[in-house]
Each structure stands twice: as C-alpha cells, then as structure tokens.
Amino acid sequence: MAYIINDDCISCGACEAECPVSAISEGDGKYVINADECLDCGACAGVCPVGAPVQE
Ligand code: SF4
Ligand code: SF4
C-alpha cells in the first residue's frame, strides 16, 4: 500500500515539504509519490488543498 497523487493535483508543492521520507517530487503536470519510499503516513493528504493524494 502507498499513497498516489491523482489528476486533481494543481502542483502547488505543499505536500513535498510534509513528506517525512522525501518520497514526493514534481512530475509532469502533477506531483508524484515514489511508492517504494512511501510510508502511508497520510501527511501529504492532510495538507493538500484539493485532496489529490489518495490511498491505492
Ligand atoms: Fe510521504 Fe506520508 Fe504522503 Fe507517503 S503518505 S508520500 S510517506 S507524506
Ligand atoms: Fe498536488 Fe496536493 Fe501536493 Fe499540491 S499538495 S502538489 S495539489 S498533491
């Protein structure tokens, strides 16, 4: 299990700084989560203004 960022992402960047393991980076048109690093903590979902990070 890991979080993924869906297409609602507006690339605000707020989640990147909140991730304790730096699993989030800017991708092509939206931010992306490295599933191999994600701890499922939910911090990114907590700060996202549009609810784009969701659990797979
Ligand atoms: Fe990072 Fe936690 Fe979001 Fe996974 S759920 S990407 S560990 S902030
Ligand atoms: Fe995208 Fe939400 Fe992260 Fe902002 S906080 S970059 S809208 S996933």
Contact 53, 5 (CB under 8 A): yes
In sequence order, the 6+-apart residues with CB closer than 8 A to the CB of 53 are 3, 4, 5, 6, 15, 33, 42, 44, 45
Instruction: For ligand 1, atom 8, name the residue with the nearest CA.
Output: 19
- Distance from Cα 40 to the centre of ligand 1, integer Å: 5
Whole-prediction pTM: 0.95
pLDDT tens across 1-56, in order? Answer: 899 999 999 999 999 999 999 999 999 999 999 999 999 999 999 999 999 999 98
Rounded to whole angstroms, the Cα distance separating 37 from 10 reads 22
